[in-house]
Structure 1
Amino acid sequence: MTTAPLTSMSVVATAGHVDHGKSTLVRALTGMEPDRWEEEKRRALTIDLGYAWTTLPSGCTVAFVDVPGHRRFIGNMLAGLGPVPAVMFVVAADESWKPQSAEHLAAAAALGVEHVLLAITRADLADPGPATRRATAELADAGITPMRSVAVSARTGAGMDALRGALDDLVAGLPRPDPEARVRLWIDRSFTITGAGTVVTGTLPAGTIHVGDTLELSGRRVGVRSLQSLEQPRESVSGTARVAVNLRGVGTEELHRGQALLTPGAWPTTSVLDARLTLPSGSRTVAELPERLMLHIGTAALEARVRPLGSDGARLTVEEPLPLASGDRAILRDPGTGRVAGALVLDVDPPELRRRGAGARRAEELAARTAGVDLATEVVARGHLGAAEARRLGVGDDELDHPPHGIVRHSDLLVDSRVWARWQQALRDVTADHARTHPLEPWMAAEAARTAAGIPRLDLVAPLARSAGLLHEGGRVHEPGLTASLGAAEAGLAAIEARLEERPFAAPEQPDLDAARLGPREIGAAVRAGRLLRLRDGILLQPIAPAKAMRILAGLPQPFTTSEARAALGTTRRVAIPLLEHLDEKGWTRRLDAGHREVVR
């Protein structure tokens, strides 16, 4: 039996030097053992990520991601810190600031963590004042102001109530995540439970996962069999929360830390991204960094090739595609030196840099670009953008429904107004050129016009034609009032038309057409222009000839024979039979037998 949906939790990561009491402090706060692996317990050292939780005085539940402090396990630390919005930074009063303190601080600063609580442990062993002052100064140098600093002793319990109150204040200041947001759960652990199957765990920053949901994992669909949070079964879990997801359709051998469970079709995946870097101390430009660094984002850790774009911009290329969005924060780490740089993702679908000077131009664009997804920027960069792709980039439906000035929306496509104007002009140009070069058929087929004008989709031709002052009808595009021009054959056609005006059913024969210089192309143009009507066997009459024939045939005794109709119309059998068949097809006359017809009343 599942419990009620879990919708209220905050998640805080620990950070600090090895053996400064992070796990001991979490154990004292929660009464739980965060170090769950046998080797961790045996060595009294956090090797992988640990988890525990408690209820604060306010009633809020807070879950801790306890990260390893030893430098050998820095990758595990970054996996725990990456998805979490707040940090409890731990410094021991008796040892003060240490090398991994600085490394953890650099990582937190690179990730842009703003919600930090400073905990000075072992206050029973030494005066916490010096360690507090040193740690506060180090955090300030990194651009971080802790919300509060609290001196505690997990052994004696001194300061623990104050720490719980400070944690209440810390989580109260965290931004409220959107439960309707798209899901991206970075996996930090995967394992098998007998009778349940594959389970993955992670920190859900936003969105909601329900039992029965279908999620996307590395390009495939997997089902959510069940959920747990705080070791209780749940019908649904909303971020921010620690969650265990029992998956259907995937085995643990197919899973690894760094993959992500996603809302299907909602995230772009990319192996190339442009970012703005926050450089480590001592570096002035991106060009001074190694060409290859480790990229840590979410729980993923991949080697990245770094191409400088200006002083602080870079193009990062990784070996596997990742589900990223503009505004994501990552860490670039040099495994050799341990130095880290922060990376703010600016573009997850960057343009190729092939032409001379493209890198310099791109550097200027990135320097002016802000974090987050801006619809106008994304559309202008591409010229046009589909609504589905815009959603994957992170654009909300409200902005799509009300695009900013300068963006034209047609159906599911958003177009830069300057590109729309170019398409309009191109459509005018290609249709005008077609009319000049094809005077007998000046009406251009819409698909041909689309291709010639460089318009990406056929359904855009009609609205572009309207806005360009053109007509789009019968699958063709042309200027209003356009008629076919027969050139030298115009006089001959006029003579044929005059002859048919006098004798409507005296269809011209081939010698007449030859004398009038009317070949097949000219006749076809005249028919399409509505100046001639073509019946079976190549009989040419006035378009109004059927109506004239009906007035005559209606005056005959009914039914009438073909001979009687021919005589009344004053024409030959060559013309009369195709004309009568045409009237039958229109439903104006009805054939009764082999020799008789009647007018349909």
Structure 2
Amino acid sequence: MRVVATAGHVDHGKSTLVRALTGMEPDRWAEERRRGMTIDLGFAWTTLPGDDEPVAFVDVPGHERFVTQMLAGVGPVPATMFVVAADSGWMPQSAEHLDALDALGVRDGLLVVTRSDLTDPELARDEALEHLAESSLGRLPAVCVSAVTGLGLDELRAELSRVVRGLPAPDLDADVRLWVDRAFTVRGAGTVVTGTLGAGTIRVGDELALGARTVTVRGMQALGESVDPVRAVARVALNLRGVGLDEIGRGDALTTLGRWLRSDVVDVRVGPPRGGDTAVDLPKQVMLHVGSAAVAARVRPLSPEPGVERAVRLTLREPLPLRPGDHALLRDPGAHRVLGGVTVLDVRPPVLRRRGAARARADELAGAEGVPDAASELARRRVMRRDDLVALGATVPGDVPSAAGWLVDPAWLSSLASRLVEAVAAHAEAEPLDAGLPAKAAARALDLPDPRLLDLVLAEPAASSLVAAGGRLRPRDAGGLPDAVRTAVATVRSDLEAEPFAAPEAHRLAELGLRTRELGAAVKAGALLKVGDGIYLAPDAADVAVGRLAGLPSPFTLSEARQALGTTRRVAVPLLEYLAKQGRTRRDDEGRHALR
């Protein structure tokens, strides 16, 4: 299926033309037929001669009071049939429709001059072609027709066939984003929505995201027939499970689960309106039109200098599922004018707090292409979740460094490694008795969102001088202790070589400069073993003790153990308690001990 929007004229000639082409009535409301004016979106379809694939028409209102409805219809549609009446020619609403199509970047279509039986259509045709040539549509083929006499209808069908065959092929594997343009209920079926599927494929049973909730497709129709699946491009009606009519409407979007980011703050590039040499001075409040949605937005220019294009930050009244490269338009509803086309550049922009941050951001965006690209997104953000990058529409290369669901810009890792070495060295200098920089503190120092990313940093050659142990980072060759402490500990261990259980008294430790912090650092570094308050032995003391106690009859008393160990009660009591906590001895009801 191919889809074309009919735009450009205010009166009933446009609908009459669609009726003549399709044999269907696009005006759904009796009020439209009574007034001879399209006031809401109409839909019809037909099969053109020589084509197996049908073409659908979205008939949009022309009157200025219904511009929002018009924009909802043309937003998702790739081509237009621009209609001008021979007896009235180019009109103000024609210009506004063309401004909208130009801002949205629509490039395919044809001009149709209706009511050609009433007057010579050449003047209206030539005038319209001049206006169209100044827009994104450029030089279009033109056909003069009369829906009353049938003049030119065969030629129109042939031109329509040529235009729709030349449209770009849709991406059938793309993530779905269906902008809803109509919602209603069907007795026995429930909620039904319609829209133009511009890319992707939908199947019965698919789960789609509607904002933060999930809905299920229970049935589908395209052009009045039940289908499964439905592939882009298509006019489609979805019967949904899990949502009421009061919970969905025009402007909502149904999207592939987990593949779209909803954002209420976006950075965009705004181009000039049609025929403008410079960008207009944007008001502070505008309407953003994208797909079938119309959302109020607050404008913050990022660069003060006017120009043909300018970078702008938009704060939306409600979040929308957007991606870099999306096209939209800004409109001033009070002045009834299109302000310019919009290209979305960033849907996760950084917060701007410091003086000059907005200008710097404008400079950064100056080179943005508005095309989802993994390398450029990572280079700009440095680190981001894999799911977020996929939701931006980018393909994740297989060689991107990743950990715990995060991706890191490869060029940034080397810089991070150097910063980490500096942070660990600074911590060692400030806290010489500490066993190393805690991993969480290291992650904060590097502005990493997850400490598990440190493994990627440590794998860099620039971080080869670091070692990670016990949740801390320290220099590989530092030994873990300052020189003075290491010397004092060596003295203690030398004293213990002859009598391994003659734990030094408090005055001896103080004499060596080993106070509470120094002793704690020595224990963390594995240089001493603490078996009780104030009792410090060599690291292998527990093994040596078990070896000596193995020579005693089992069970044995505290006194027997003290004698076997060659120590005092001051050391023997906490040592046996330590061995019991380690599961290496047990104590019976009579207070005697035995090895396990």
Please classify the TM superposition score into its range, dividing by the shorter chain length.
0.7 to 0.9
User: Which among 82, 104, 109 is matched to residue 116 of structure 1?
Assistant: 109
Aligned pairs (5 A) from 1:425-574: 425-467=418-460, 468-469=463-464, 470-485=466-481, 492-536=488-532, 538-549=534-545, 552=548, 566-574=562-570
Q: What corresponds to 2:327 in structure 1?
A: 329
| Contact 1:293-1:335 within 8 A present in 2 as well | yes
Structure 2 counterpart of 1:206, which letter?
A
How many matched pairs? 586
1:201-216 paired onto structure 2 within 5 Å:
201-216=194-209
Corresponding residue for residue 45 of structure 1: 37
State the shift of 1:172 in Å: 1.8
Partner residue in 1 for 2:348:
349
Specify the alignment match of 2:158 in structure 1.
165
Deviations 1:248-290 (A, max 9, x none): 3333334442222223343222333332233235644335344
Structure 1 gap segments, 5+ residues each: 1-8
Alignment counterpart, residue 232 of structure 2, candidates 226, 232, 239:
239
SS at match of 1:527: helix
For residues 538-594 of structure 1, what are the alpha-carbon distances to aligned partners after superposition, in whole Å with 9 as ceiling and x for unaligned? 543322334444555556677776655544443345444555565666676777885
Which residue in 2 is equivalent to 1:376? 375
CA distance in 2, matches of 1:275, 1:221: 29
How far apart are the structure 2 equivalents of 1:578 and 1:306?
71
2:2 equivalent to 1:10: yes
CA distance in 2, matches of 1:318, 1:587: 63
In the alignment, which residue of structure 2 is the partner of 1:138? 131
In the superposition, relative to structure 1, how do residues 516 and 292 fare at CA in structure 2: closer, same or farther (>3 Å)?
Answer: closer
Which has the larger displacement, 409-418 or 80-89? 409-418
**The one of 316, 319, 323 aligned to 1:318:** 316
Please tell me the residue identity of whatever aligns with 1:383: R
Residue 366 of structure 2: SS of its match in structure 1? helix
Deviation sequence 1:36-76 (CA, Å, 0-9, x none): 10011112221211101112222001110011223332222
**2:201, 2:118 → 1: CA distance?**
45
Contact 1:440 1:521 in 2 (8 A): yes
The answer to whether the 8 A contact 1:295-1:302 is kept is yes
> Cα deviations across residues 11-58 of structure 1 (Å, max 9, x unaligned)?
111112223732122112211111110011112221211101112222
**CA root-mean-square deviation:** 3.1
Identify the residue that residue 391 of structure 2 maps to in structure 1.
392
Distance 1:110 1:585, change over 3 A: closer
Over 3 Å counting, the alpha-carbon distance change for 1:567 and 1:367 in structure 2 is closer
Is contact 1:486-1:522 (8 Å) kept? no
Q: Deviations over 1:394-452 (max 9, x none)?
A: 223xx35355xxxx543422334564344323322222122223333342322233334
Structure 1 residue 78, shift from structure 2 partner: 1.6
| Residues 1:296 and 2:292 are matched in the alignment | no
Residue 184 of structure 2 is aligned to residue 184 of structure 1: no
Task: Report which stretch shifted further, 564-573 or 263-272.
Answer: 564-573
Greater Cα offset, 482-491 or 153-162:
482-491
Deviations 1:185-205 (A, max 9, x none): 222222222232322221121
Deviations 1:468-500 (A, max 9, x none): 121111111101132244665655544332221
Hey, what's the Cα distance between the residues in 1 that align with 2:593 and 2:332? 95
**Where does residue 273 of structure 2 map in the other structure?**
280
CA distance in 1, matches of 2:403, 2:572: 51
Alpha carbons of 1:159 and 1:461: their partners in 2 closer, same or farther (altered >3 Å)? same
- 1:29 matched to 2:21? The reply is yes
One-letter code of the match for 1:501? Answer: E
**Offset, 1:514:** 4.0
1-side partners of 2:355 and 2:531: how far apart? 63
State the alpha-carbon separation in 2 of the partners of residues 487 and 400 from structure 1. 48
2:398: which partner in 1? 401
- Name the amino acid aligned to 1:22: K
Rounded to whole Å, the distance in 2 between the matches of 1:505 and 1:353 is 63
Among the aligned pairs, what percent are the same residue? 52
Shift of 1:83: 0.9
How far has the Cα of 1:328 moved from its partner?
A: 1.7
Any residues of structure 2 matched to 1:90-129 within 5 Å, and which? 90-129=83-122
Q: Name the CA shift for 1:66/1:576 in 2 (closer, same or farther; >3 Å).
A: same
Deviation at 1:598, TM superposition (A): 7.0
Shift of 1:293: 3.6
How far apart are the structure 2 equivalents of 1:53 and 1:171? 13
Contact map agreement 1:210 1:224 (CA 8 A) in 2: yes
Q: Cα distance 1:479–1:45, how it changes in 2: closer, same or farther (>3 A)? A: same
After superposition, the Cα gap between the structure-2 partners of 1:506 and 1:366, relative to the gap in structure 1 and judged at 3 Å, is closer
Unaligned runs of 5+ in 2: none
Shift of 1:339: 3.2
Q: Which moved more, 1:383-392 or 1:48-57?
A: 383-392
Range with greater deviation from structure 2 (559-568 or 345-354): 559-568
Give, in whole Å, the separation in 2 of the partners of 1:357 and 1:568: 76
Q: CA deviation at 1:146?
A: 5.0
How far the C-alpha of 1:530 sits from its partner, in A, is 2.7
Q: Which amino acid aligns with 2:287?
A: M
Give the TM-score, by structure 1 length. Answer: 0.87
Using the TM superposition, name which of 129-138 and 101-110 deviates more: 129-138
Question: Is contact 2:134–2:275 with CA below 8 Å preserved after alignment?
Answer: no
CA distance in 2, matches of 1:557, 1:290: 94
2:388 corresponds to which letter in structure 1? Answer: E
Aligned to 1:4: none
* Residue 175 (str. 1) matches residue 171 (str. 2): no
Of stretches 556-565 and 96-105 in structure 1, the one that deviates more from structure 2 is 556-565
Go from structure 1 to structure 2 and tell me whether the alpha carbon gap of 1:210 and 1:98 turns closer, same or farther (over 3 Å shift): same
What residue is the counterpart of 1:5 in the other structure?
A: none
Question: For residue 6 of structure 1, what is the aligned residue in structure 2?
Answer: none
Secondary structure at the residue paired with 2:174? coil
Conserved 8 A contact 1:115-1:146: no
Q: Secondary structure at the match of 1:39?
A: helix
2:264 counterpart of 1:271: yes
Question: Measured at CA, do residues 164 and 476 of structure 1 come closer, stay the same or move farther in structure 2, by a change above 3 Å?
Answer: same
Letter in 2 for 1:17: H
Letter in 2 for 1:188: D
Which letter does structure 1 place at the counterpart of 2:524?
R
Question: Could you tell me which residue of structure 2 aligns to residue 225 of structure 1?
Answer: 218
